[in-house]
């Protein structure tokens, strides 16, 4: 009997996978032509892309950069390519980009908004990125006082007096706390600061300004405009609305009935009306609500209303984060013997804010986009300026180029913010996936 | 022997209001209440003083004065001799028109884009991502103004449709005229119409209800009721015997035949727009402002809805699909019986809050001159009468009511679909 069974003693060499399932062809088959329906979609998409690009690329690159008016643009187009269709007239951007950026800010003072913008980057750097030099936090602390002074100009004593109020409050708290205890110190500190701001700072600033006149040329609000204005309103609203939103969210979550009712009423009211009505309030009604004779700056009024609007939305986002936190975290904080503010500061808020990062950032993006609404009440933000440019006889009839430019700028800012939020989520992720 | 004694009775001291947790919350609330009331009193006092100085105490009498401005896009009959109240009412209806149209279009586009973003087709998914990012990161007002500019500058004027060899022709079998003055679409007409009933007689809020429309709606409602009854019967048979009778042809018949009969009985036909003189006559004229607002708002909101739909579908774990497959369900039944009901629970609340955003964003109509409630009450009426306080407060009240109404619907829905946990 012979053993006819056959057992292979050596491994076969690995074979390369079939050409149709690896490499470019494999990828194409898996992702673009996996079945007939996908193939149709792919072909349709390709046709669409080719159609768009065949119009867009010549429009963007075969374009006129130097001209004084739309008519001149068209003459150049006809002289060069024979027709006016399908060619952009970027000359309008070249002529007006400074205006679209700074509005009617005096051109010899452009260094001030630019400096303010650079300082802004330095100021928010340490907040956004852990690798940023920590010393920049001093700039962050000084920025709220520095920015208005740089933008509006005038005497340096005004912002310094406001800052001095904070210093007075801080030192009052510092010295009184060992003597009278925390709560009394807090109340006295707030009162001291308020008295300083409301009563003393005006005469002191006047006297100091008379004695040592340090100042830069003042610029009026109606000269503000362009992306400078959008960024100013956006940054103020974003920066101030986050703390207010946190307080509102805590108020809404609190056990204190009256506090809760006030917070809920405020949040639901603001969220129930469109921003444009709040801007109407800023432009027409805010002066009626304040003591007779008060008439403060329109940009400041708009900033206040946009901030309140942002704060209500922020509060809801943060409330979502607070609600998503497991109850054990609250109980754990209590069992450690932390009081309300300690547990909020050390345990609850760091986690709740982390959970709500995507919502917070999309609120930021929404607020920044909503700053264009100020054009409706007559401020010259980029959109308001674009209306003015289109009404100008020289550029009457131009729209794609202007809106493409403005839209691209907004896209860069907003897309940047959303990418940053993704980065932040990755950096703060503590689960080990 | 030990005796149980009450803890020593503490007499109440004033400092306990602050340091004793039993009283502290009360103290804080009283202080907050007082602060709030002081603030409110201060604001109201300022307002009254200022209004007295300006010489215009709060008075809603201006609403009965003639508005003396025209509203070119409207659902109700209105002319400039009508009152401001009538103008605001027409404006409110215009807001609702653009909101409803926008919500429908945004939902259709948004669901389509959201589903396609999850497509295994790499190219399609990327295209949809570009669409979503493009619309989400650029202000909606910019889109509205851009669409308006494109419509006005690039579309042919009505006179381009004239002549032997016109530069422009009407689309959809000569039924729709797209011009730079707006879009003219066919209007439904009834040759044997039942007429209208007018509600509220001569009051400012009067409006007409077409009896034809009511009849059609009643018939449609009855059809849907019959269809549900038919489906229920099919379910019962399926429960009893295991075989499900085919229902779709009966359902289709129930839906189409009665409505068609009513339409024929009423003499339904379409009124086509036709070029007469310098402009188109006949048909329904949708002005550029309405089209621009509608298009821009729905495309913008659709980008957000797409993200919601995508998130909702991704939120349903793959195990659900696989388990349904293991039970022997077919792919479309898996979708309709297992995935969609669960995904809808995730999708609907943010979807409704996006509808709310769309409605609030429709107030941007004022930028393109569409006369919605912001354009009438908060725009021309406010500027003509100088009654800023009354107009803005009423405007806020209107939007607040719409928002609270939609929120109430959302809460009702949330409670209805809430998972009943053990």
Neighbours of A179 (CB within 10 A): 9
Task: Say how far apart CA B151 and CA B179 lie, in whole Å.
Answer: 8
Closest CA to A124 of A425, A416, A342, A372: A416
Q: In the prediction, which pLDDT does A192 show?
A: 87
- Statement to judge: residues A73 and A186 lie in one domain: no
Phi, psi angle pair for A178, to nearest 5°: -65, -25
Which H helix or E strand runs over A115? helix A111-128
Q: Hey, are the CB atoms on B138 and A258 less than 8 Å from each other?
A: no
Name the residue with tokens 């269809």. Answer: B227
Burial of A67 from C-beta contacts in 10 A (0-12 / 13-18 / 19+): buried
- Tell me, yes or no, whether A407 lies in a domain: yes
Please spell the DSSP secondary structure of A206-256, one letter per residue: HHHHHHS--EE----GGG--HHHHHHHHHHHHHHHHHHHHHHHHHHHHSS-
Whether B397 has a pLDDT exceeding 80, the answer reads yes
- Give the chain A residue nearest B364 (alpha carbons): A276
- Statement to judge: residues A250 and A192 lie in one domain: no
- Statement to judge: residues A289 and A334 lie in one domain: yes
Quick check: A394 and A70 in contact, CB under 8 A?
A: yes
- Tell me, yes or no, whether A281 lies in a domain: yes
Q: In the prediction, which pLDDT does B421 show?
A: 56
Task: Say how far apart CA A166 and CA A173 lie, in whole Å.
Answer: 11
Q: In the prediction, which pLDDT does A408 show?
A: 94
Residues from chain B that touch A386, judged by Cβ atoms under 8 A, are: 145
- Give the chain A residue nearest B361 (alpha carbons): A274
Provide CB contacts within 8 A for A188, sequence distance 6+: A172, A173, A176, A180
Quick check: A139 and A121 in contact, CB under 8 A?
A: no
Q: In whole angstroms, how far apart are CA B303 and each of B101, B139, B232, B351?
A: 16, 12, 37, 12
Q: In whole angstroms, how far apart are CA B172 and each of B178, B189, B415?
A: 11, 19, 45
Identify the residue among A270, A385, A403 best suited for mutation to test binding to B, counting B beta carbons within 10 A and taking the highest: A403
Q: Which of A209-213, A253-257, A331-335 has the highest mean pLDDT?
A: A331-335
Q: Residue B420: which pLDDT band, with cuts at 50, 70 and 90?
A: low
- Statement to judge: residues A201 and A344 lie in one domain: no
Q: Hey, are the CB atoms on B137 and A418 less than 8 Å from each other?
A: yes
Q: Residue B135: which pLDDT band, with cuts at 50, 70 and 90?
A: very high
Residues from chain A that touch B119, judged by Cβ atoms under 8 A, are: 38, 41
Contacts with A, B 391-410, CB within 8 Å: 392, 395-396, 399-400, 403-404, 407
Task: Say how far apart CA B277 and CA B159 lie, in whole Å.
Answer: 9
- Tell me, yes or no, whether A119 lies in a domain: no
Interface residue B48 vs chain A (CB under 8 A): no
Q: In whole angstroms, how far apart are CA B39 and each of A146, A290, B46, B271?
A: 30, 11, 11, 59
Write the pLDDT tens digit of every residue in A368-423: 999 999 999 888 889 989 988 988 888 888 888 899 999 999 999 999 999 998 88
What's the domain count of chain A?
3
Provide CB contacts within 8 A for A367, sequence distance 6+: A234, A237, A238, A241, A306, A309, A310, A313
The last residue of one of the domains, among A216, A248, A270, is A216
- Tell me, yes or no, whether A182 lies in a domain: yes
The residue ranges of every structural domain in chain B are 74-144+285-417, 188-271
The last residue of one of the domains, among A93, A111, A143, is A93
The last residue of one of the domains, among A76, A93, A110, is A93
Q: Hey, are the CB atoms on A256 and B25 less than 8 Å from each other?
A: yes
**pLDDT averaged over every residue in chain A:** 87
Is B203 in a helix, a strand, or coil?
A: coil
Mean pLDDT to the nearest integer, B46-69: 84
Q: Hey, are the CB atoms on A258 and B120 less than 8 Å from each other?
A: no
Q: Tell me chain A's radius of gyration from C-alpha atoms.
A: 30
Task: Say how far apart CA A43 and CA A49 lie, in whole Å.
Answer: 10
Q: In the prediction, which pLDDT does A308 show?
A: 94
Question: Domain B74-144+285-417: which CATH class?
Answer: mainly alpha
Whether B2 has a pLDDT exceeding 60, the answer reads no
- Statement to judge: residues A272 and A417 lie in one domain: yes
Q: What is the ipTM of this complex?
A: 0.88
Quick check: A50 and A69 in contact, CB under 8 A?
A: no
Provide CB contacts within 8 A for B113, sequence distance 6+: B128, B131, B132, B302, B303, B305, B306, B309
- Please list the residues that pair with B281 across neighbouring strands: B274
- Give the chain B residue nearest A374 (alpha carbons): B141
Residues from chain B that touch A275, judged by Cβ atoms under 8 A, are: 360
* Helix %, strand %, coil % of chain B (to 5): 65, 10, 25
- Tell me, yes or no, whether A239 lies in a domain: yes
- Statement to judge: residues A210 and A320 lie in one domain: no
* Helix %, strand %, coil % of chain A (to 5): 75, 0, 20
Please spell the DSSP secondary structure of B238-290, one letter per residue: HHHHSPPPP-HHHHHHHHHHHHHHHHHHTTEEEE--EEETTEEESSEEE-HHH
- Statement to judge: residues A204 and A258 lie in one domain: no
Q: Hey, are the CB atoms on A375 and B28 less than 8 Å from each other?
A: no
Of A273, A280, A400, the CB nearest to B400: A273
- Statement to judge: residues A234 and A356 lie in one domain: yes
Whether B127 has a pLDDT exceeding 90, the answer reads yes
- Statement to judge: residues A210 and A231 lie in one domain: no
- Statement to judge: residues A57 and A199 lie in one domain: no
Residue A405 token pair: 């430019």
- Give the chain A residue nearest B33 (alpha carbons): A258
Give how far the C-alpha of residue B389 lies from the chain's centroid of Cα atoms, to the nearest Å. 27
Q: In the prediction, which pLDDT does A32 show?
A: 82
Whether B192 has a pLDDT exceeding 80, the answer reads no
Closest CA to B300 of A69, A372, A223: A372
Task: Say how far apart CA A325 and CA A356 lie, in whole Å.
Answer: 10
Greater pLDDT, B361 or B163 = B361
CATH number at residue A347: 1.10.3720.10
Number of CB pairs, chain A paired with chain B, less than 8 A apart: 159
Q: In the prediction, which pLDDT does A3 show?
A: 67
Q: Hey, are the CB atoms on B127 and A48 less than 8 Å from each other?
A: yes
Which range of residues forms the domain containing residue A178? 154-216
Of B49, B389, B407, the CB nearest to A292: B49
Q: Hey, are the CB atoms on A273 and B360 less than 8 Å from each other?
A: yes
Task: Say how far apart CA B171 and CA B175 lie, in whole Å.
Answer: 6
- Tell me, yes or no, whether A124 lies in a domain: no
Burial of B257 from C-beta contacts in 10 A (0-12 / 13-18 / 19+): exposed
Whether A229 has a pLDDT exceeding 60, the answer reads yes
Residue B77 token pair: 């009959």
Interface residue B29 vs chain A (CB under 8 A): yes
Neighbours of B147 (CB within 10 A): 21
Q: Hey, are the CB atoms on B364 and A281 less than 8 Å from each other?
A: no
Q: Which of A176-185, A246-255, B177-186, B241-250 has the highest mean pLDDT?
A: A246-255
- Statement to judge: residues A293 and A358 lie in one domain: yes
CA-based angle B280:B367:A366, to the nearest 5?
Answer: 130
Q: How many residues does chain B have?
A: 422
- Statement to judge: residues A204 and A246 lie in one domain: no
Q: Hey, are the CB atoms on A42 and B404 less than 8 Å from each other?
A: no
Task: Say how far apart CA A284 and CA B390 lie, in whole Å.
Answer: 11
Residues from chain A that touch B145, judged by Cβ atoms under 8 A, are: 383, 386-387, 403
Q: Residue B7: which pLDDT band, with cuts at 50, 70 and 90?
A: low
Write the pLDDT tens digit of every residue in A75-119: 888 888 888 788 888 888 888 889 999 988 888 888 999 999 999
Quick check: A153 and A218 in contact, CB under 8 A?
A: yes
Residue A226 token pair: 């362009």
Task: Say how far apart CA A135 and CA A149 lie, in whole Å.
Answer: 22
Quick check: A95 and A68 in contact, CB under 8 A?
A: yes
Q: Hey, are the CB atoms on B363 and A281 less than 8 Å from each other?
A: no
């Amino acid at each position: 009997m012979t053993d006819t069974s056959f057992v292979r003693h050596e491994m076969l060499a690995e074979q390369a996978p079939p050409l149709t399932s690896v490499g470019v062809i494999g990828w194409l088959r898996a992702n673009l032509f996996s079945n007939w329906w996908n193939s149709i979609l792919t072909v349709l998409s390709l046709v669409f892309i080719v159609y768009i690009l065949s119009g867009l690329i010549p429009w963007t690159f075969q374009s006129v950069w130097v001209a004084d008016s739309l008519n001149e643009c068209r003459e150049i187009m006809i002289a060069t390519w024979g027709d006016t269709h399908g060619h952009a007239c970027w000359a309008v951007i070249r002529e007006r980009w400074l205006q679209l950026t700074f509005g009617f800010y005096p051109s010899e003072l452009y260094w001030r908004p630019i400096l303010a913008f650079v300082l802004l980057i330095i100021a928010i750097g340490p907040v956004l990125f852990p690798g940023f030099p920590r010393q920049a936090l001093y700039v962050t602390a000084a920025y709220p006082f520095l920015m208005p002074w740089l933008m509006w100009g005038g005497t340096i004593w005004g912002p310094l007096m406001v800052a001095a109020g904070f210093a007075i409050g801080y030192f009052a708290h510092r010295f009184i706390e060992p003597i009278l205890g925390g709560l009394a110190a807090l109340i006295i500190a707030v009162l001291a600061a308020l008295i300083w701001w409301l009563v003393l700072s005006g005469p002191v600033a006047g006297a100091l300004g008379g004695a040592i006149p340090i100042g830069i040329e003042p610029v009026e609000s109606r000269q503000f405009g362009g992306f400078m204005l959008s960024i100013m309103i956006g940054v103020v609203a974003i920066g101030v609305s986050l703390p207010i939103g946190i307080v509102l969210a805590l108020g809404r979550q609190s056990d204190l009935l009256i506090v809760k009712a006030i917070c809920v009423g405020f949040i639901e009211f603001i969220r129930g009306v469109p921003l444009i009505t709040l801007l109407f309030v800023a432009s027409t009604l805010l002066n009626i609500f304040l003591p007779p004779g008060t008439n403060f700056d329109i940009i400041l009024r708009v900033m206040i209303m946009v901030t309140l609007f942002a704060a209500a939305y922020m509060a809801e986002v943060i409330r979502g984060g607070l609600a998503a936190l497991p109850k054990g975290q609250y109980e754990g904080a209590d069992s450690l013997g932390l009081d309300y503010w300690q547990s909020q500061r050390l345990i609850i808020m760091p986690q709740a804010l982390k959970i709500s990062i995507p919502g917070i950032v999309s609120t930021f993006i929404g607020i920044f986009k909503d700053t264009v609404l100020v054009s409706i009440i007559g401020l010259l933000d980029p959109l308001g300026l674009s209306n003015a440019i289109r009404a100008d006889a020289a550029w009457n009839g131009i729209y794609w180029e202007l809106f493409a430019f403005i839209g691209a700028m907004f896209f860069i800012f907003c897309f940047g913010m959303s990418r940053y939020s993704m980065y932040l989520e990755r950096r703060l992720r503590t689960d080990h996936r | 022997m030990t005796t149980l004694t009450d803890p020593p009775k503490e007499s109440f001291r004033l400092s306990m209001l602050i340091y004793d947790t039993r009283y502290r919350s009360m103290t804080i609330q009283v202080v907050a209440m007082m602060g709030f009331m002081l603030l409110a009193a201060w604001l109201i006092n300022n307002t009254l003083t200022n209004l007295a100085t300006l010489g215009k105490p709060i008075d809603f009498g201006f609403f009965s004065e003639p508005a003396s401005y025209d509203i070119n896009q409207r659902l109700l009959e209105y002319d400039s001799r009508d009152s401001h109240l009538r103008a605001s009412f027409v404006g409110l209806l215009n807001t609702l028109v653009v909101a409803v149209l926008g919500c429908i279009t945004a939902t259709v586009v948004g669901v389509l884009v959201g589903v396609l973003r999850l497509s295994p087709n790499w190219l399609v998914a990327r295209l949809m991502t570009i669409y979503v990012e493009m619309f989400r990161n650029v202000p909606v007002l910019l889109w509205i103004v851009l669409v308006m500019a494109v419509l006005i500058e690039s579309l042919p004027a009505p006179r381009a449709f004239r002549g032997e060899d016109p530069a422009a022709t009407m689309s959809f079998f000569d039924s729709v005229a797209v011009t730079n003055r707006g879009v003219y679409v066919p209007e439904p007409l009834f040759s044997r119409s039942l007429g209208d009933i007018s509600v509220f007689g001569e009051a400012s809020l009067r409006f007409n209800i077409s009896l034809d429309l009511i009849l059609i709606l009643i018939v449609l409602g009855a059809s849907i009721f019959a269809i549900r009854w038919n489906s229920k019967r099919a379910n019962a048979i399926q429960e009893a015997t295991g075989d499900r009778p085919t229902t779709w042809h009966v359902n289709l018949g129930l839906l189409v035949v009665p409505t068609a009969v009513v339409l024929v009985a009423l003499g339904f036909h379409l009124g086509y727009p036709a070029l007469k003189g310098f402009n188109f006559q006949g048909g329904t004229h949708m002005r550029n402002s309405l089209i621009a607002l509608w298009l821009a708002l729905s495309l913008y909101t659709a980008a957000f809805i797409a993200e919601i739909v995508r998130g909702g579908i991704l939120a349903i774990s793959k195990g659900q699909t696989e388990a349904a497959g293991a039970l022997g369900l077919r792919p479309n039944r898996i979708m309709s019986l297992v995935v969609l009901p669960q995904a809808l629970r995730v999708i609907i609340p943010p979807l409704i809050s996006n509808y709310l955003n769309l409605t609030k964003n429709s107030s941007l109509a004022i930028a393109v001159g569409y006369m919605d409630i912001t354009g009438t009450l908060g725009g021309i009426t406010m500027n003509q009468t100088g009654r800023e306080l009354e107009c803005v407060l009423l405007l806020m009240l209107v939007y607040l009511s719409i928002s609270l109404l939609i929120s109430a619907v959302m809460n009702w829905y949330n409670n209805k679909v809430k998972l009943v946990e053990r």
